[in-house]
Amino acid sequence: MVDEALKPAGLSLVAIDRAAPGRTATIGPYHRWRPSAMPDLETFDRLVDERATRWTEELIEFCRIPSETDQQAPLRLAAEWTAERLRQAGAAVRVLERPDAPPLVIGELGDGPRTLLSQDHYDVQPATPLDLWTSPPFAPEVRGGRLYARGAADDKGEFLFRLQAVEALQDALGKLPCRVRFIVEGEEESGSKHLAAYLADHPDLVEGHGALIEGGGVDEKGRPMLVCGVSGLAYVQLSVRTLAYDAHSGGARLLPNAAWRLVQALATLRGPNDTITIDGLFDHVRRPTEAQLAHLRTLPFEEEEIKRIYSCTAFVSGRTGFEAQVADTFEPTCNIAGIVSGFTGPGEKTITPCEATAKLDLRLVPDLTPELALRCLREHLDRRGFADVAIVPGS
């Protein structure tokens, strides 16, 4: 959604995460927002100009930490870096700990009758496959006015730009007119396994008058976006085992093949026109209201640009135009994030695989909770005789 009150003054340096070229984080002063109720920001603009180079260097330093999902030592380094940077900005910092979990870093700046929350994370997605990176994922490189590194966007870039902006605003105004609380976790990319427990221990952390989610940036045409809602996520692994060990495939007329079993189970989840066919799932999907659809019609949808970026000729189910935009905004997904079974190296090996696994992620919409989605999936598979296909949440 584009807020027309925001007047972007031009783009110059964009941080790009290679695995998601459509998702960017914009560095520094390049969007000069002028909401009418704000004081004059001449000093702020000057500080931004003076600091832009140093800010980029800070992001490069942050992105050098390979804080991939589940890599405990680098995650801890990234948490310490986050806490230290918040302290430098004058924040009151708390580093919360739980057993077997990366720390939750809290930083508070400013004071006033209202509190703005910023939800961020210092963990990043695994950077594999490495051979697709032009420069290594944890050796940030600026090319053509863009910074390339894992986490440059999603979310080290977004976190740092927010903090740098708040810091500069504080320096320009003398003090902030409100409290800003950063909540920075290390498990966002792996389902935020311990976040609920952290927040249950410290319920005051989520008290506030507004919250920014981790994301942000510009759309395919460079327009800044304000996203007012996002879908949820259920991540599961489907696993099946048919034999004690891989067999020579000369026995394939007799011995059940785990890869075939998984392929057959997965195939029941999707119809011929790529619709999701999990029994009952759409019973829990709230349909968009007329008001929502009317609002959606006012928003741009860069269909051709998205297709160009990914070199894809057609969208899922052959959808185009407003139909595609509605699906993109309001529908759940059932996505195979990965599948593996048997021999996958170069050359040939004639085996009947004993086990097969697939990682599925389901994007969820209002009313469709992870529990409901997984219950639908389990019952769907059981009803079709796939009780042997195990569903392991969050793995």
Scan residues 30-89 and list those touching a copy of itself (CB under 8 A). 69-70
**Owner of token pair 């959604």:** 1
Greatest CA separation for the chain: 78
Please give the Cα distance from 76 to 24 (Å, whole number).
25
**Site residues for a copy of itself, window 159-188 (CB under 8 A)?**
none
Query: Which CB sits closer to a copy of itself, 17 or 58?
Result: 17
Q: Considering the rule CB under 8 A, would residue 321 count as an interface residue with a copy of itself?
A: no
2: three-class secondary structure by DSSP: coil
Strands 224-225 vs 355-364: parallel, antiparallel or unpaired = unpaired
Query: Which CB sits closer to a copy of itself, 18 or 179?
Result: 18
Angle between helices 72-88 and 42-63 (to 10 degrees): 160
Q: Considering the rule CB under 8 A, would residue 294 count as an interface residue with a copy of itself?
A: no
Contact 134, 150 (CB under 8 A): no
Min CB(183)–a copy of itself separation in Å: 21
Q: Which of 24, 67, 115, 257 binds a copy of itself (CB under 8 A)?
A: 257
Query: Which CB sits closer to a copy of itself, 18 or 51?
Result: 18
Q: Which of 60, 76, 235, 374 binds a copy of itself (CB under 8 A)?
A: 235
Q: Considering the rule CB under 8 A, would residue 312 count as an interface residue with a copy of itself?
A: yes
Stretch that binds a copy of itself, among 32-40, 103-111, 202-210, 235-243 (CB under 8 A): 235-243
Query: Which CB sits closer to a copy of itself, 43 or 277?
Result: 277
Q: Which of 92, 139, 336, 387 binds a copy of itself (CB under 8 A)?
A: 336
C-alpha closest to that of 256 among 244, 271, 268, 267: 244
Query: Which CB sits closer to a copy of itself, 264 or 292?
Result: 264
Min CB(44)–a copy of itself separation in Å: 32
Q: Considering the rule CB under 8 A, would residue 392 count as an interface residue with a copy of itself?
A: no
Please give the Cα distance from 78 to 124 (Å, whole number).
10
352: three-class secondary structure by DSSP: strand
CA 257 to chain centre: 35
**Owner of token pair 């000069």:** 32
Task: Write the CB contacts of 55 (distance below 8 Å, at least 6 apart in sequence).
Answer: 27, 28, 160, 161, 164
Q: Which of 113, 144, 203, 345 binds a copy of itself (CB under 8 A)?
A: 345
